[in-house]
Structure 1
């Protein structure tokens, strides 16, 4: 991954990110010598988000299959939640 310092980002702006993104899909922003942020294109972000949602759906289906669910009314749910506090 290409590393861009926060100072370069501050002085050169988005054009510095654009230059890095021409070479690689991800750019690491380094702040005071430590990697702190990763910049990715919106298309890649959308794909990662899609993967994340697919995993959540698989986990939910596994919970249902394993019986780790509670079927109850809204009122019962709210009571159970307040009792847990």
Structure 2
């Protein structure tokens, strides 16, 4: 479902809540182009959890493949140029 920025401005959050009861997500369009996505917090948390699981899996694969660097915190900061 696409909501225009003007609809959001004039109809408010109650309009968004009504839309989200019917649809899983809503897009906010600005000047005719989708710009933002609104999700119920539960959906957002599922996405964040899936993202974290993917990052952990990638880190485990890197570790198993030996794509790691062992260094002190000071060495790490120096390598990053901080």
TM-score (norm. length: structure 2): 0.92
> What displacement does 1:18 show?
1.0
Aligned equivalents of 2:80, 2:27: Cα separation in 1: 41
Aligned equivalents of 1:58, 1:48: Cα separation in 2: 15
> What displacement does 1:59 show?
0.4
Unaligned runs of 5+ in 2: none
> What displacement does 1:78 show?
2.8
Q: What's the Cα RMSD here? A: 1.3
> What displacement does 1:76 show?
2.4
What is aligned with 2:14? 15
Aligned equivalents of 2:77, 2:68: Cα separation in 1: 15
What is aligned with 1:69? 68
Q: Kindly report which structure 2 residues correspond to 1:73-84, keeping only aligned pairs within 5 A, or say none.
A: 73-82=72-81
TM-score (norm. length: structure 1): 0.89
How many residues end up aligned between the 2 structures? 82
What is aligned with 2:31? 32
